[in-house]
Amino acid sequence: MTVARRDIVKSDITHTFAVAIVTLLVGVPPAAAETPKIGDPPEASNMRLVGFNDLQGRSAYQPTIHHQGDRWIAYIGHHGGTDAVPKPINPLSGQPEFNGTSIVDVTDPTHPLYLRHLPGQEGNYEAGGAQMTRVCDGKDLPKGDPSAVYLLRTFGGMAHEIWNVADPANPKLIIRLEGLKDTHKSWWECDTGIAFLVSGVPTWRVRRMTEVYDLSDPAKPIKIREFGLPGQEPGSTGSVPTELHGMISIGPAGNRVYFGYGTNKGGILQIVDRDKLINGPKGPTPDNLRYPVIGQMEMSPLNGAHTTFPLGKLTIPNFSKDKFASQRDIVMIVDESLVNECQAGEARQMVWFVDATVETRPMVVASYSVQEENENFCERGGRFGAHSSNESMAPIFYRKLAFVTWFNAGVRAIDVRDPYHPKEVGYFIPSITAATDKRCIKANGQDVCKVAIQSNNVETDDRGYIYVVDRANTGLHILEVTGSARAIAGPH
């Protein structure tokens, strides 16, 4: 475990001076001097490292942090292995295992305890592993076993699985929903059991669409319907609309599900009436697919919609004296960058704030992006751009601070209290380790590779800890906010 004792903030002046000296002496361009090295300290502002676990050197996607009795357990989904190490060794069993789910006790965040690795599907990178995790207590689900804790995870692209993780060190498989051509970032309502699964039903024209399930009794899943954009359904022809990435439901009380389509291109935010989606006509016809849709916003085709995180109604400071519409209904959209080192084929992927007060006419009102200028993120190696935000709606951060992973720029803390003027208030870029995998681009037909942090997904818990996981095998970093960022969050 590595613990940072203090924040380390880079000095621009020192940095610029050092780069100039290096350039003068050895002719190394400034960009090359930015490539991280093992032993470099983390870069941070208003965020501090609390604890670390290497996650057995596995590439990580979604962390879900669950308060389980008197313990806090992190369930972390993994991508498949790499060409170099397709089946990493699990030190607990001594056996090589395909990447799956890491189960880590984070009750003491300074000493995360790795409990169990649950293998996933064979295959490297996106072709294998078990990227997604959601967790519900049986006592919260309408027909769940009160003694059970249920992990819903993907099994590569071929299936969704439900495990009983009441004893997180000894999970028991309950059921597998298989026969799919892909899976991804699903959502599960613990109070109703309704699950919105990102699936690839073979008859559909896209790899990813929605299957709505009633998982109120996880042992007896009931499929409610299939859903997607008109033109994706079986039998349709012509252009195939942008495929689904994920969704977030605010449950029966809010009666909305926010769907995000697209990754780094052709993004669409879709605001859907949850009740009509679940109880409306179900056959996958264009009319039935349109029926529950309240509003739909097509983004610039240069950006996608990885995460569509509803922030709810916020009073806009500048509108506070207005007698009409001083509160606005805001959705934060996070794009996903796919391309290394800002190369061709992709525009900058970032964060967009959408005013959806009039749900039929949502509109982007602000954006946030990490400043590349003077920091040379485009040359540091790997991807630079947005990927994913925390999705916890726990009061400690919700509607105040949002955390967004930015690959080689680590995780960024954004003050969203005024979503018309979002402001960065902190960041943390973890140090690379010997486990951090390289990322390459082609130059003159040759692979040019660099080793860089690739902060992939982030989640927060009710206590105020921030969990950042790395796509380039570096592991899990547990953080907390400090300084002015902590003041925004309020008392922990």
Partner 1 sequence: MKPATGLKICGVAALLLVVLSSLRLADPAPVEQAHAIWIETKWPFLMDQWGEGKSFQCKAAECGSELNLHIRAKVGFCSTATGIADDDELERLSDFDFMNGRAIALSRGHEIDVAGMKGRIRAYETVNSVHSPTYAVSVAFNNNSDALVATVVFNGGSPAAMEPVIIQFLNGRTIQRWVSLTLGL
Q: Which two tokens stand for residue 182?
A: 């892909």
For partner 1, give the closer residue by CB, 244 or 416: 244
Q: Indicate whether 147 belongs to the interface with partner 1 (CB under 8 A).
A: no
Least Å distance between CB 16 and partner 1?
30
Which of the stretches 144-152, 205-213, 219-227, 397-405 binds partner 1 when contact is defined by CB under 8 A?
205-213
Exactly one of 125, 291, 319, 420 binds partner 1 (CB under 8 A); that residue is 125
Distance in angstroms (rounded) separating the CA atoms of residues 19 and 12: 10
Site map 228..247 versus partner 1, x via CB under 8 A: ---------xxxx--x----
Give which of 453, 480, 456, 476 is closest to 466, Cα–Cα.
Answer: 480
For 273, phi then psi, to 5°, come to: -75, 110
Distance in angstroms (rounded) separating the CA atoms of residues 349 and 368: 10
For partner 1, give the closer residue by CB, 205 or 421: 205
Q: Indicate whether 298 belongs to the interface with partner 1 (CB under 8 A).
A: no
For partner 1, give the closer residue by CB, 21 or 443: 443
Distance in angstroms (rounded) separating the CA atoms of residues 216 and 5: 45
For partner 1, give the closer residue by CB, 114 or 406: 406
Q: Indicate whether 472 belongs to the interface with partner 1 (CB under 8 A).
A: no
Q: Which two tokens stand for residue 383?
A: 């991807």
Q: Indicate whether 364 belongs to the interface with partner 1 (CB under 8 A).
A: no
For 274, phi then psi, to 5°, come to: -60, -40
Q: What is the DSSP string of 57-104?
A: G--EEEEEEEEETTEEEEEEEEE-B-SS-SS-EETTTTEE----EEEE
Least Å distance between CB 240 and partner 1?
5
For partner 1, give the closer residue by CB, 119 or 123: 123
For partner 1, give the closer residue by CB, 264 or 389: 264
Q: Indicate whether 345 belongs to the interface with partner 1 (CB under 8 A).
A: yes
Site map 261..290 versus partner 1, x via CB under 8 A: ---xxx------------------------
Which of the stretches 10-18, 120-128, 170-178, 314-322 binds partner 1 when contact is defined by CB under 8 A?
120-128
For partner 1, give the closer residue by CB, 146 or 238: 238
CA atoms within 13 A on the CB side of 202: 5
Maximum C-alpha span of the chain: 71
Q: Count of residues binding partner 1 (CB under 8 A)?
A: 29
Which of the stretches 106-114, 143-151, 344-352, 457-465 binds partner 1 when contact is defined by CB under 8 A?
344-352
Residues 425 to 454 in contact with partner 1, rule: CB under 8 A: 441-445
Give which of 328, 445, 432, 331 is closest to 389, Cα–Cα.
Answer: 331
For residue 459, the surrounding DSSP H or E stretch is: strand 455-460
Residues in contact with 366: Cβ distance below 8 Å, sequence separation at least 6, in sequence order: 352, 353, 419, 420, 421, 422
Are 352 and 332 in contact by the 8 Å Cβ rule? The answer is yes
Q: Indicate whether 339 belongs to the interface with partner 1 (CB under 8 A).
A: yes
When computed from its CA atoms, the radius of gyration of the chain, rounded to whole angstroms, is 22
Q: Indicate whether 85 belongs to the interface with partner 1 (CB under 8 A).
A: no
Distance in angstroms (rounded) separating the CA atoms of residues 326 and 323: 7
For partner 1, give the closer residue by CB, 408 or 431: 408
Exactly one of 207, 276, 417, 463 binds partner 1 (CB under 8 A); that residue is 207
Q: Which two tokens stand for residue 131?
A: 């990227």
Q: Indicate whether 127 belongs to the interface with partner 1 (CB under 8 A).
A: yes
Least Å distance between CB 205 and partner 1?
6
Give which of 37, 35, 19, 36 is closest to 27, Cα–Cα.
Answer: 19
Least Å distance between CB 394 and partner 1?
34
What is the binding site for partner 1 (CB under 8 A)? 123-127, 205-207, 237-240, 243, 264-266, 301-302, 338-339, 343-346, 441-445
